[in-house]
A = this chain, B = another copy of it.
Amino acid sequence: MIKANIRISLKKGVLDPQGQAVKNSLKGLGYDVEDVRIGKHIEVSIGGDDIDRANDTVRAICEKLLVNPVIEEYSYDMEVSR
């Protein structure tokens, strides 16, 4: 089985109201933070051990379903488990 760890984050320059809210709370609690950006982390387990096919699957599901290309970008890494 192959596990893909997908990281989806807002593109630089896109406003992150959720991140701003967390930043303000942390500053209010006295923590010295300069910025907070919040994104998604998605683990997808794919059957078989064909890494090329798994790469194609991950790119397709990111570009067709999971990622909004207008405001988001993604990166991923793969773990093969026997």
Q: Contact between A44 and B39 (Cβ–Cβ < 8 Å)?
A: no
Cβ contact of A47, chosen from B26, B34, B46, cutoff 8 A: B34
Interfacial chain B residues near A45, Cβ < 8 Å: 33-36
Q: State which residues 3-22 of A face B: CB under 8 Å.
A: 7-9, 19, 22
Q: Contact between B65 and A46 (Cβ–Cβ < 8 Å)?
A: no
Cβ contact of A42, chosen from B37, B43, B61, cutoff 8 A: B37
Bound Cα distance from A64 to B8, whole angstroms? 25
Q: Which chain B residue lies CB-closest to A43?
A: B37
Within the complex, what minimum Cβ distance (angstroms) separates A67 from chain B?
12
Q: Contact between A31 and B57 (Cβ–Cβ < 8 Å)?
A: yes
User: Is A1 an interface residue when CB atoms closer than 8 A count as contact?
Assistant: yes
Bound Cα distance from A34 to B49, whole angstroms? 13
